Amino acid sequence: MKIMLKQIYRKSWFSTVILGIVLVILSFLSLFVGVIDVTAEELFSGDAASIELFLISRLPRLLAILCTGTGMSVAGLIMQQLCMNKFVSPTTGATISAAKLGILIALVFMPKSTLWSRAIFSFAFALLGTWIFVWFIQRIRFKDTIMVPLIGIMFGNIIGGITSFIAYRYEMTQALSSWETGHFSLVLRGRYEIVYLVVPLLILAFIFANHFNIVGMGKDFSQNLGVNYKAVLFMGLTIAAAITASVVVVVGSISYIGLIIPNMIAMFKGDKIRGTLVDTALAGALFVLVCDVIARLVIAPYELPIALIIGIIGSVLFIGILFRRLKHGRKAIRLGAATEAPCAVAVEKAVPQGGDRA
Within 8 A by CB and 6+ apart from 348, the residues are: none
- Residue 80 Cβ vs another protein, minimum distance, rounded to whole Å: 16
Neighbours of 24 (CB within 10 A): 11
For residues 60 and 305, which CB has a smaller minimum distance to another protein in the complex? Answer: 305
Q: What is the Cα–Cα distance from 41 to 351, expressed in whole angstroms?
A: 58
For residues 169 and 274, which CB has a smaller minimum distance to another protein in the complex? Answer: 169
For residues 52 and 144, which CB has a smaller minimum distance to another protein in the complex? Answer: 144
Q: How far is CA 292 from the centre of its chain?
A: 16
- Closest to 91 in 3D by CA, of 206, 338, 262: 262
For residues 154 and 203, which CB has a smaller minimum distance to another protein in the complex? Answer: 154
Q: What is the Cα–Cα distance from 33 to 41, expressed in whole angstroms?
A: 15
Would you tell me which residues interact with another protein (CB under 8 A)? 87, 140, 142-144, 146-147, 149-151, 153-155, 157-158, 160-162, 164-165, 168-169, 171, 181, 255, 298-299, 302, 304-305, 307-309, 311-312, 315-316, 318-319, 322-323, 326
Cα torsion angle, 210, 211, 215, 221, sign:
positive
- Residue 124 Cβ vs another protein, minimum distance, rounded to whole Å: 22
- Closest to 241 in 3D by CA, of 80, 122, 101: 122
- Residue 319 Cβ vs another protein, minimum distance, rounded to whole Å: 6
- Residue 161 Cβ vs another protein, minimum distance, rounded to whole Å: 4
Which residue type, as a one-letter code, is found at position 356? D
- Residue 151 Cβ vs another protein, minimum distance, rounded to whole Å: 7
For residues 15 and 315, which CB has a smaller minimum distance to another protein in the complex? Answer: 315
Q: Which runs of consecutive H residues, i.e. helices, occur in 170-252?
A: 173-180, 198-207, 209-216, 219-224, 229-251
For residues 55 and 140, which CB has a smaller minimum distance to another protein in the complex? Answer: 140
Q: What is the Cα–Cα distance from 105 to 121, expressed in whole angstroms?
A: 8
- Closest to 67 in 3D by CA, of 203, 211, 177, 175: 203
- Residue 11 Cβ vs another protein, minimum distance, rounded to whole Å: 32
- Residue 249 Cβ vs another protein, minimum distance, rounded to whole Å: 22
For residues 137 and 265, which CB has a smaller minimum distance to another protein in the complex? Answer: 137
Q: How far is CA 162 from the centre of its chain?
A: 23
